[in-house]
């Protein structure tokens, strides 16, 4: 094999490798955590303040799975007044598993969901709520 054939073979291998890399990069699914991440980033100081306020509570937010139910409970000091907010079951590796709910606990500060609403996996549960005109925020790790 002379040097002309070796050079042609090297160029063909290079072109083939580059074509494969372009194909792979075009078919890779890149998912953002949120579609409107820029506006959410501008308001993130409010989330930080709400998280600090939550850490000052005597008890924290609890989440657990019992039988076929997923139970989210507010701290005992917030049970007397019903609070409203948002719940986001965020799955880091698959946005199709994400679930967003409005957080409307009962008079005991508890909200119950059916386990069948979720696919098995690891979730970061982002809970935000208001109580007496103050915002609170907590992130919890949860597995089903």
Task: Please state the rounded mean pLDDT for residues 43-63.
Answer: 85
Using one digit for the tens of pLDDT, what is the confidence trace for 79-123? Answer: 767 677 899 998 888 778 888 998 888 888 888 998 888 888 899
73 band by pLDDT with thresholds 50, 70 and 90: confident
- Range 70-109 burial, b when 16+ CB lie within 10 A, else e: bebbbbeebbeeebebebbbbbeeeeebbbeeebebeeeb
Reported as type and span, the H/E element at residue 51 is helix 44-55
SS3 121: coil
Mean pLDDT of the chain: 85
Per domain, the residue ranges of the chain are 1-30, 37-143
Which of the following CATH numbers is that of domain 37-143: 1.20.1560.10, 1.10.490.10, 2.60.40.10, 3.40.50.11540? 2.60.40.10
The pLDDT of residue 22 is above 90: yes
């Amino acid at each position: 094999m002379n040097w002309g054939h070796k050079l042609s073979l090297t160029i063909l291998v290079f072109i083939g490798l580059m074509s494969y890399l372009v194909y792979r990069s075009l078919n890779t699914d890149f998912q953002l955590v949120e579609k409107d991440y820029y506006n959410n980033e501008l308001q993130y100081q409010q989330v930080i303040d709400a998280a600090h306020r939550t850490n000052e509570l005597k008890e924290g937010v609890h989440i657990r799975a019992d039988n076929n139910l997923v139970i989210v409970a507010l701290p005992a000091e917030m049970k007397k007044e019903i609070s409203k907010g948002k719940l986001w079951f965020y799955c880091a590796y698959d946005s199709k598993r994400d679930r967003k709910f409005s957080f409307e606990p009962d008079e005991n500060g508890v909200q119950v969901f059916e386990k069948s609403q979720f696919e098995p996996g690891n979730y970061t549960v982002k809970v935000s709520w208001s109580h007496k005109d103050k915002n609170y925020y907590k992130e919890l790790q949860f597995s089903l």
